[in-house]
Every structure is written in structure tokens, then in C-alpha cells.
Amino acid sequence: MDTDRLSMDAFGFELWGLPWKDEVSFDELSAHIHPADRDRVRAAFQATRSVSGLYETDFRIMLGDEIRWVSARGKGADEGLQDRSSFGVFIDVTQRKQAEEANELLAGEMSHRVLNLLTIATSLTNMTGRKAASVPDMTKELVQRLTALGRAHSLVRPLPGTEGRAALLGDLIAVLLSPYDDGGAFAGRIRTSVPRMGVGETSATTLAMVIHELATNSLKHGALSVPSGMLEITSTSDDDDLVIVWAETGGPAVASVPDRQGYGSRVVLKTVEQQLRGELAFDWQAAGLVAKLRVKRSRLAL
């Protein structure tokens, strides 16, 4: 306790990514603690000197590009000192922390999707009611739209038994956008022109999330929120890349760049980067949003 030096077993040095030696200083270990956690960890360890009872502190350490979670546990208030030395353990809790983060992400995504589906259902009801000649006509068309929405949602969250299936890019986009069109994805105010190419199961799910998020936002604030709005989806090729262009016109005028820090937008951007190794860029023009999704053709086949 007087010299801030630690002795660890072989597993401890392996956990921290350090070569074996008889002793290591607290500063040497601190250099590997994630910068965002370093001050908190130092303060926590200082607090253990005066607070009695068991303590447990979780923090991240960095080994090159790898991040591990470590739980430090022991007894506070210098309890159990022998020859001015205290005893404790470092536990690798990386898998537990990753599972917790995944659960939090899933819970947030589910909440986001439920709220979006309620908003979409309300907007589809209003959209259908504007042109329906009678209650039976409105009921029939609304049921069709909601059924199509269910098919599209199953692509965003694949059902058991659909593993390993692929889809054509144009068919995938048509199914996802059919609830929002008045005459089919190729005949109404939504126009699609993309190359005939297959999309693998993993990429189809990611692409469905992107289209679903763009369509939801358009239905709330963009071209799909008004009867005069138009949406055109085209593509261009650049070497090995495919660029899918989402262009809205005829919607409410864009006065300023909207805040893209919402939960759905953050998830989509992160998913595009991690799953497709691609990028999604937004250009808020006066006439409407132009979004460009750039991906490797080879990634779409996965």
C-alpha cells in the first residue's frame, strides 16, 4: 500500500496484456485503462482506502484495438492488510458486459420500432382516408397496407425458418415500400430503378433496416407525408461499389438540416458501417432529402 506496486499471477499479466515480471506499478496498469474510465477508476481506488466493506469496480482496458472489461474486487478501508499489503482480484467480465450492451441495444431498438410502427399505422390511416370513397373501401385498403407493412417488418427482423434465403435488390425495396405507395412501387409516386442483383440474408436485413428508417422518417416529415410527395430510388456503380440513391421531392420545404442524433439514425449508421462496411450520407436539399448508401457489391451477397 505504501509503494502503489502490485504482484499478479500469470493470468493477471495475460489479462492486462503485459509481460510477466515480479511487480508492476499502478501507473503502468493505469496506462492501459480506457481514457474515459481512467479518472473514475483512480478515484474509486482512492475511495476504497477509507470506505469499509467489499468493493467492486468495473472498467475498460485497451490492448491495441481490443477493448476488455475488467472487474476489480477486494476489501476497503485497508481491511485484511498483511505486511502493509492488501489482496484482491481482477476478473475478465468482457463477455458479460458485451451481453449487457447487446440487451440494452435490443431493448432500445424494440422500443424505437414499436413507437415507429404506431406512428406509421396512424399515418397510413390518414393517407388511406384522404382518398377513400367509403368506409368499406377505406377498411379494405388500410388492411392491405397494414398487411404489406407486416411483410416489410418481417424483413427488418427475420422470422425463424428464413435463414439462408436471398432476395433480389429490386424486389426487396418494392416489398419494403409497398405500404406507402398508392399504385405499387413501380407505378405510383414511388419509383425504383436498381440493377438486377441478389442480396444475401445478412445484407438484406441490414438494407431493410436502412430503407425502413428512411421511409419512416419520410412518412413523418418528408415527401411521403404529403399527397404530392415523390420518392425515386436509383443506383450508380463506382468500381466495385454500388451507390443506392434515395431522392425525395415534392414534400415539405427543408428549412434547415434536421438533427440526425435520434436513436434510429444512430443504430442505422452504426449497422451500415459494421455489417455492410459501407457509408450512408445525407444531403438535405431545398427540394427534399437525398441520401446515398455506398456499399461493396461483394458485401451485398453475404
CA pair distance 260, 258, nearest whole angstrom: 6
List the CATH code of the domain at 5-92. Answer: 3.30.450.20
Specify the CATH superfamily of domain 98-300. Histidine kinase-like ATPase, C-terminal domain (3.30.565.10)
Q: Give 124-136 pLDDT, tens digit per residue.
A: 777 667 667 788 8
Is 44 or 59 the better-scoring residue by pLDDT? 59
How many Cβ atoms from other residues are within 10 Å of residue 152's Cβ?
Answer: 22
pLDDT, average across residues 110-121: 68
Look at residue 83 in the predicted model and tell me its pLDDT.
75
Residue extents of the structural domains in the chain: 5-92, 98-300
C-beta separation of 257 from 284 below 8 A: yes
**Model pTM above 0.95:** no
Element housing 167 (H / E)? strand 167-168
Q: Which three cell numbers stand for residue 30?
A: 493505469
Give the long-range contacts of residues 258-262, CB within 8 A, separation 24 or more: 258/221, 258/284
**Looking at residue 208, what is its pLDDT?**
78
What value does the mean pLDDT take over residues 106-128? 69
Beta carbons of 203 and 299 less than 8 angstroms apart = yes
CA atoms of 50 and 66, how far apart (whole Å): 33
pLDDT of residue 42: 85
Stretch among 18-22, 130-134, 252-256, 275-279 having the lowest mean pLDDT: 130-134
Q: What is the dihedral of CA 291, 296, 299, 301, to 10 degrees?
A: 90
C-alpha cell at 80: 485484511
Model confidence band, residue 93 (pLDDT cutoffs 50, 70, 90): very high
Question: Helices 169-177 and 201-221, interaxial angle, to 10°?
Answer: 40
Quote the Cα angle for 41-44-48, to 5°.
140
Rounded to the nearest 10°, the torsion over CA 133, 134, 135, 136 is -100
Backbone angles phi, psi at 282, to 5 degrees: -115, 130
Please state, in angstroms and rounded to a whole number, the distance separating the CA atoms of residues 232 and 188: 11
